[in-house]
Structure 1
Amino acid sequence: MKLVIIAAGRGSRISSISNGIPKILIEVFNQTLLEHLIKNCESVGISDIVLVTGHQSEMIHDYISKNEFNINIELTYNSDWDLPNGISVLASKNNIPKGHDFMISMSDHYYNSDLLIKIMESELSNTIVNVGADYKTDAIHDPDDAMKLIIDKDSEIVSAMSKDLRKYNAVDCGLFKCKYEFFSILEKTKSNGNYSLSDACNILINNQDLGGVNIDDSVWLDIDTPEALDYIKKNRKLFKE
């Protein structure tokens, strides 16, 4: 199964301290976010990554060419990188074998292999996409920016997804497992003038096709602000395997 990593955006929220480098090349605990994602993949048996780049793609490509990794990395360029993230997933379509399941990860979300394997091993028998769901809502670092979810705990089906939900019981941790047919949902979303993953997921929600996978005690952090980077460095014990 391939993991699609979305690394095309500008990273404007953290640009004040990123020193002009892409978010995926920011260092946390003496390794780049990309290195950490690769180590996660190696730990759970994922041998193929599709890395979707856009803004500052040359820097990412140069970094990969100068380093050796024990994993296959396919580079795909998203020329519409300034549009929301669903376009980056669509850019990876030709890299995914037709009919095969695949996974999606944000490039700036820090998590460990225990979380990755929970999503990877989830079943898609009754859903088209499963999203990692964090029910520890009181512990979310930046709740205002979090993608909030309402999930039926018995059926594990998501009934609502939005950053604007006032009442919710979980938060999207930025890791997905998808059937190949999700690409057709993304294409439908794009034809309607909507471009984000959440727009496509809301189409799934209307048909009860989006599942929520409880990540239990696994931890993660969206590192897209200086405050988030400072937080993870000050709370190293929470995030080290």
Structure 2
Amino acid sequence: MKALILAAGRGSRLKEYTKDKPKSLLEINKTTLIERSLNNLKKVGFSEVVVVTGYLNTLLEDFITNKFSDFCTIVHNIDYTRGSGSSFICSTPHLEGEMVIIESDLLYDYRILERLIAQKEKNAMTLGCFDHGREEVKIIVEQGKISKAFWGDAETKADGDWVGFTKLSSATTKELRKNLENTDPDQGKEINYEDFLFALMTEHPFYPVNVNDLPWLEVDNEQDYLSAAKVAEKIDENL
């Protein structure tokens, strides 16, 4: 199985911490986010990872080449300031077969990946609960399937929040690639990557994979970063 990591963004909410490095190169207990994620993917048996770079791309690309050259394909998004949809468009030639899409700012237990790929249903999204009061993608589950995914604030009623992992079947990946190829490139670069995934749900069933009992954290701002060491300690206990 192949994975796609979207690692092009600036991480501006992390202020000074990302002024000289991409967010995925932030160290949590002496190990960068990207290295943790790539090691997790290796551990559970992924064969290839496509990493989309953008902000300060040379630093991230050099890091990956030095440590994971036999495992990773690097794609540079020169339009990374236009949003995550632009990274999806850059990755189009590499979208094939069963895939797992991962956001690069996730600090997580490798068992989340195990649980996701073990889901017998072909399309799945991880379900958890953020406790930070910010806007997140909310998930509604009906009869065991995800009936709706949409942006909402902390007061929005839902069955949970989407933690940024998505598994796609070969057929769904094929449709995603077709949708991206048929999207006007200039217009598509202004669309969040999440919206491309939401569009797939109108034709393909998606199933929730609850991961809230496992340690994970989205490192999105300074408060998250300062909390990350404790989460990493729990994760490292299980390695």
Give the structure-2-normalised TM-score. Answer: 0.85
Q: Is 2:156 aligned against 1:166?
A: yes
Distance in 1 (alpha carbons) for counterparts of 2:211 and 2:199: 23
Distance in 1 (alpha carbons) for counterparts of 2:105 and 2:127: 17
Q: In the TM superposition, what whole-angstrom CA distance separates every residue of 1:175-228 from its partner, at most 9, and x where no partner exists? A: 111132222344566677551122123323334633322225122111021100
Q: Mark the runs of 5 or more structure 1 residues left unpaired by the alignment.
A: none
Q: Is 2:20 aligned against 1:20?
A: yes
Distance in 2 (alpha carbons) for counterparts of 1:171 and 1:90: 25
The residue matched to 1:35 in structure 2 has which SS? helix
Distance in 2 (alpha carbons) for counterparts of 1:96 and 1:186: 10
Q: Offset of 1:237 from its aligned partner?
A: 4.2
Q: Which amino acid aligns with 1:133?
A: L
Residue 109 of structure 2 aligns with which residue?
A: 112
The residue matched to 1:177 in structure 2 has which SS? strand
The residue matched to 1:9 in structure 2 has which SS? coil
Q: Is the 8 A contact 1:50 1:73 kept in 2?
A: yes
Distance in 1 (alpha carbons) for counterparts of 2:229 and 2:184: 38
Q: Is the 8 A contact 1:158 1:208 kept in 2?
A: no
The 3 A distance-change label for structure 1 pair 166 and 216 is closer
The residue matched to 1:147 in structure 2 has which SS? strand
Residue 62 of structure 1 aligns with which residue?
A: 62
Residue 157 of structure 1 aligns with which residue?
A: 146
The 3 A distance-change label for structure 1 pair 235 and 104 is closer
Q: Is 2:137 aligned against 1:147?
A: yes
Distance in 2 (alpha carbons) for counterparts of 1:41 and 1:70: 14
Distance in 1 (alpha carbons) for counterparts of 2:231 and 2:212: 19
Distance in 2 (alpha carbons) for counterparts of 1:235 and 1:214: 18
What is the RMSD of the two structures over their aligned residues, measured on CA atoms? 2.4
Q: Mark the runs of 5 or more structure 2 residues left unpaired by the alignment.
A: none
Residue 218 of structure 2 aligns with which residue?
A: 222
Tell me how many residue pairs correspond in the alignment.
Answer: 230
Alignment of 1:75-154 (within 5 A): 75-97=74-96, 100-125=97-122, 129-134=123-128, 137=129, 140-152=130-142, 154=143
More helix by share: 2
The residue matched to 2:81 in structure 1 has which SS? coil
Q: Is the 8 A contact 1:150 1:160 kept in 2?
A: yes
Q: Which deviates further from its counterpart, 32-41 or 187-196?
A: 187-196
Give the percent of matched residue pairs that are identical in Structure 1 and Structure 2: 27
Distance in 2 (alpha carbons) for counterparts of 1:216 and 1:188: 36
Q: Which amino acid aligns with 1:220?
A: W
The residue matched to 1:17 in structure 2 has which SS? helix
Q: Is the 8 A contact 1:8 1:53 kept in 2?
A: yes
Distance in 2 (alpha carbons) for counterparts of 1:112 and 1:103: 16
The 3 A distance-change label for structure 1 pair 185 and 49 is same
Q: Offset of 1:96 from its aligned partner?
A: 3.5
Q: Is the 8 A contact 1:149 1:172 kept in 2?
A: yes
Give the structure-1-normalised TM-score. Answer: 0.84
